[in-house]
Structure 1
Amino acid sequence: MAMKVAYIILAHKNPLQVSRLISRLNYEDSLFVIHVDLNTDIYPFKNELSKYSNLYFTTKRYKTNWGGFNTVKATIELLKLAVENETETIVFISGQDYPIMSNNSLKQYLNNYNGKALIEYETGSLNKTLPNRTNRYYFADYFKYNKTGVFDYKKVPIIPRILTKILPKRNFLKGFVPFVGRVWFILPLNIAKYFVEKYNSNTTFNNFYKFTISSDEMYFQTLLLNSHFAENTINLQTTYADYNAPNPVIWKSKDLELLKKQTTPFARKFDTNIDEKILDLIDKEILNA
């Protein structure tokens, strides 16, 4: 029997591109759950994606400002629907990702890691001398910390900068070791349930991360690696991206050979408004090869 897989997707633009992504992953026993950012009109997505009978939209939607805790909330909404549908494996991607592994290879990849959590992580800092993501108060859900797509703390609005400066330094959560990493992951059902349960029950943990910066790159790693599930967790990149630019590089046709060399199931970031041909080339030379 084929493994039942839920692809949970954060989307905020390009419904046609999201549809193309889904059509590529739409094999037997796959299911799709979409969170469309509250800043975005959902109706073009509903119109384009209504053709998929195995697709669900989250009822709750959030405005996911860069660096804000609302991205964690949106991810939890995605996980809830995956859990309700009892999917064996949950794959977390964005609407600007694309597979760089054929469906047969992806199925084998997921089977090889069945029961394991795949997520990137490293230990965070407990040093309070210099500001970091957790040891000061930040307010990214309430102010635009990154208006241009290129983060520069000097360009953050003056009010949150003053608040961060005058409010006391923060101690990390008692009994926890901090971990950080990239957002995207692949989980078995039991760990997805654990995330939802902890989100629903541990208000102290949630309230702490509400006032950090880029909590989505810490929240799940810290929950997971401070639990008994740590022994079932593999430090592994599942989505290839180049973060050497201020934002992830948008892949173009010239990058095909580089993408061919990667061993991750997915890559990001793609934007069909900038270069759609790269997806055509991936289809032809990687996915249909």
Structure 2
Amino acid sequence: MKHAYLIMAHKNLNQLLRLLRALDDARNGIYLHLDSRFREADEVDFAGFLNFSCFHSIPRRTVEWGNYGIVQTEFELLRAAVEEGPYRYYHLLSGQDFPIKSQSDIHHFFDGQDKEFIHFADPSGWDRVMQIRLNRFRRPIYQIYLLSEFLKRRIGIRPMIDFGFGSNWFSITDKFAKDFLAKRRWASRYFINCICPDELVLQTFVLTFGYENHLAAAVGTGDETASKRCIDWNRGGDNHPYVWRAADYQILANSSAMFARKFDTEIDEDILRRIEETLL
């Protein structure tokens, strides 16, 4: 069964084209959103660039860091893919992500799964995150979070909304994708005025609507296990993922993850070349 790749890109056309080439497979559908400021990509015939994959693009918008536009874009990509599907899995990637396994390896792995690959950060740090993300623009939402925490810890009753936090890059099944899309209005109601809502919406959906048992890894498990993404948060600084270099090749080659982020050919191009030549 086919897989859908949902890609959000905002810079570096040549790197994006390399990503598309790495995903170009008759077993894949590719759904692309280009930020409206990504003028370098205006004249590119992306459908003509691909030889095997079905290609779709969605209307361009300006996606600002930290606002709800990124969540809207994720929903629009997911909706476009679900309407063309069904697909076995839906993989959300940025234009700075890259596969570190071949398409045959990726399909073989996910076709043997029925779980959702969603990352949750260590719950011990959630209180501070929620204070910043939810309280910055809409104080009542933060009060709901405090109430939900009180109910969980003191009474044991499932709260009206159970907030979670983690990375927004996912690999999810068709049923989960449809269930998540059905809650688009719910997501807007709670998160439209938050900062960085893309790191809250999916995890909160999982916890609030009882999907914990659908996860591939327990809440709080690291990226490689939970989302099959190899991401280094320790060396990036300022809460940004580290940009992989050629010197890191062995880390990626030995990883159990299917994808890695992040890459930037303006910083190091050799790492992508080595992945293309030896891993894909």
TM over 0.5: yes
User: Are the aligned partners of 2:126 and 2:164 in contact in 1 as well (CA < 8 Å)?
Assistant: no
Instruction: Specify the alignment match of 2:80 in structure 1.
Output: 81
Instruction: Give the deviation of 1:19 after TM superposition.
Output: 1.7
Match of 1:253 in 2: 246
Q: Does 1:213 align with 2:203?
A: no
Residue 57 (structure 1) aligns with: 57
Q: Provide the C-alpha distance between the structure 1 equivalents of 2:164 and 2:124, rounded to a whole number of angstroms.
A: 5
Any gaps of 5 or more consecutive residues in structure 1?
139-166
CA–CA distance in 2 between the matches of 1:168 and 1:90? 33
Deviation string, structure 1 residues 98-133 (Cα, Å, up to 9, x no partner) = 1111222111111122x32110114487859x9332
| Cα distance between partner residues in 1 of 2:205 and 2:80 | 20
Give, in angstroms, the shift of residue 273 of structure 1: 2.2
What is the RMSD of the two structures over their aligned residues, measured on CA atoms?
A: 2.4
Summarize the Cα distance change of 1:117–1:127 in structure 2 as closer, same or farther, 3 Å threshold.
closer
The residue that corresponds to 1:237 in the other structure is 227
**One-letter amino acid of the counterpart of residue 89, structure 1:** Y
Partner of 2:174: 189
Structure 2 distance, partners of 1:6, 1:278, is 25
Residues 39-82 of structure 1 deviation map (CA, whole Å, 9 limit, x = unaligned): 222744633553236111112x3322221111100100110111
**2:61 aligned with 1:68:** no
How many residues align structurally? 251
Cross-structure match for 2:220 = none
1:112 alignment partner in structure 2: 112
2:7 aligned partner, one-letter code: I
Q: Distance in 1 between matches of 2:126 and 2:259?
A: 32
> CA separation in 2, counterparts of 1:40 and 1:180?
29
Quote the Cα distance in structure 1 between the aligned partners of 2:30 and 2:241: 24
Q: Distance in 2 between matches of 1:126 and 1:111?
A: 33
Q: 1:106 and 1:51, CA in 2 relative to 1: closer, same or farther beyond 3 A?
A: same
Percent of paired sites with the same residue: 29
Query: Contact 2:171–2:227 at 8 Å: present in 1 too?
Result: no
Is contact 1:136–1:212 with CA below 8 Å preserved after alignment?
A: yes
Paired residues for 1:87-98 under 5 Å: 87-98=87-98
Letter in 1 for 2:44: K
Greater mean deviation of Cα atoms: 24-33 or 205-214: 205-214
Contact 1:124-1:178 within 8 A present in 2 as well: no
Cα distance change on mapping 1:75 and 1:188 into 2, 3 Å = same
Partner of 1:176 in structure 2? Answer: 161
Q: Could you tell me whether the CA contact under 8 Å between 1:15 and 1:48 is conserved in 2?
A: no
Change in Cα spacing, 1:206 to 1:125, as seen in structure 2 (3 Å) is farther
Q: Which amino acid aligns with 1:279?
A: L
Q: Please give the secondary structure, in 1, of the residue aligned with 2:264.
A: coil
2:171 aligned partner, one-letter code: I
Aligned counterpart in structure 1 of residue 16 of structure 2, from 8, 18, 31: 18
Taking the aligned partners of 2:192 and 2:124, their CA distance within structure 1 comes to 17
For 2:155, the equivalent position in structure 1 comes to none
